A = this chain, B = another copy of it.
Amino acid sequence: MGSSTGPRPRGEECVSRITKEEVAELTQRELPWAIWMGVAVEEIGNGHCRVHMPHKEENLRPGGTVSGPAMMGLADYSLYVAVLSSIGRVELAVTSQLSINFLRKPRPGDIIADCRMIKVGRRLAYGEVFLYSEGREADGPVAHVTGTYAIPEDRGV
């Protein structure tokens, strides 16, 4: 196994190893937080995905901007989906490290996560996520995230 990409190619030729419907079913069954947030996968391919998080009053913070935890949760979920798109339905893959840089205050509104894996190895998968205010992508990302997932030895599949 080893889908790995540099900054340019995005491998859209390769199909995801999990479908949008399987992600939705898994989310429904196992990820109540994501359900509560209303996140939904818009696009999925091998090693990348685009995820939408709708506006919610509960996610605001002082200053009227989207809260950090909401954006971190969206990024973590996107990485989980992108890992599964690369290696198939290994539900027990877990975040081992996540790092977020907040770059601009997002307007209250929907957030889009654009995620791709940078390295998928046997034991660890590493990727990055750009978060955007929907409809304002041209302003540049509101946050940038990198994260590592640990893949269990017994993949349970």
Contacts and interface: CB of A to CB of B under 8 A. Distances in A.
Given A33-B67, A33-B70, A98 B99 contact: yes
Copy number of this protein in the oligomer?
Answer: 4
A92 B144 CA distance: 21
Contacts of A94: 61, 63, 65, 68, 102, 105
How would you classify the secondary structure of chain A's contact residues: helix, strand, loop or mixed?
mixed
A14 interface: no
Contacts of A140: 2, 4-6, 118-119
A62 interface: yes
- In this complex, the interface size class of chain A, counting residues with CB under 8 Å from chain B, is 35 or more
B59 A33 contact: yes
Interface in A88-111: 91-92, 94-105
B30 A62 contact: yes
A63 B93 CA distance: 9
Given A4-B103, A7-B114, 14 more contacts: A6-B130, A32-B59, A32-B60, A33-B61, A36-B58, A63-B94, A69-B69, A69-B76, A72-B73, A73-B73, A94-B105, A98-B99, A104-B119, A146-B146
